[in-house]
Chain A
Amino acid sequence: KAGVTQTPRYLIKTRGQQVTLSCSPISGHRSVSWYQQTPGQGLQFLFEYFSETQRNKGNFPGRFSGRQFSNSRSEMNVSTLELGDSALYLCASSFSGTGGNEQFFGPGTRLTVL
């Protein structure tokens, strides 16, 4: 069974630009969560999508948005990039059925904002 894939793996942008990151969950998984990870803050929850609907949202500004498609693939978009957006962006998928759903993480997209 293929794991969670994220593209691209590395990205360099300049301030003010926008970026779109993609996440393909494990086949059969309907939930996709996005996280920002920085050395000082650890893993910060961005949002979670389940069956194309945003189910939970973290405390990030509106510049961060996401969506989920009917095949459960998800994208997140960051507009008007700031230097502080440089981070490892992780997505995680889970089946989100009953009981003890494990979140399986992708390898992440390393975003550098110059």
Chain B
Amino acid sequence: KNQVEQSPQSLIILEGKNCTLQCNYTVSPFSNLRWYKQDTGRGPVSLTIMTFSENTKSNGRYTATLDADTKQSSLHITASQLSDSASYICVVSPDPYNQGGKLIFGQGTELSVKP
């Protein structure tokens, strides 16, 4: 069964600290993996997307890694800011066209950054 599992479920860190969120998937075939950031009450916004051949992708203070062999991805946030408080969702697509019905969503990690 295609599944995406994220850990931890929730995380509290102090402003300025780094953190790493994990995503393990059992999706086959694999086309791409995307990390989304979702602020409370808003729609998700894409942070990074990686295909099979990519190991790392950065977007400002956000760096995603992908190990296609172990089917694991991580999202590293450097020098966290209060605005990083959000839910982070890992999404895996077996379909290069990313058809809506084919995407496999993780449950998300709720990150809270405290001053």
A residues within 8 Å of B by Cβ? Answer: 4, 31, 33-35, 42-43, 45, 47-48, 55-58, 88, 90, 92, 94, 96, 98-108, 110
Contacts and interface: CB of A to CB of B under 8 A. Distances in A.
Given A90-B43, A102-B49, A108-B43, A57 B101 contact: yes
Contacts of B51: 100
Contacts of A55: 99-101
Interface string B58-70: 0000000000000
B27 interface: no
A100 B99 contact: no
A56 B49 contact: no
A47 B44 CA distance: 18
14 contacts: A4-B43, A31-B100, A34-B100, A45-B101, A56-B101, A92-B100, A94-B98, A96-B97, A99-B96, A100-B51, A102-B34, A103-B103, A106-B43, A107-B43
List 4 A-B pairs, minimum CB-CB distance, nearest first: A56-B101, A33-B100, A105-B43, A48-B100
Interface of B: 32, 34, 36, 41-46, 49, 51, 89, 96-103, 105-108
Contacts of B99: 31, 48, 55-56, 96
A45 B42 contact: no
Q: Is the interface of A mostly helix, strand, loop or mixed?
A: strand
Contacts of B41: 88, 107-108, 110
A35 B104 CA distance: 12
Given A55-B99, A100-B96, A103-B98, A43 B43 contact: no
B96 A42 contact: no
Given A42-B107, A42-B108, A106-B43, A101 B49 contact: no
B101 A33 contact: yes
B105 A103 contact: no
Contacts of B44: 43, 90, 105
Given A48-B100, A58-B101, 4 more contacts: A33-B100, A43-B89, A107-B41, A108-B43
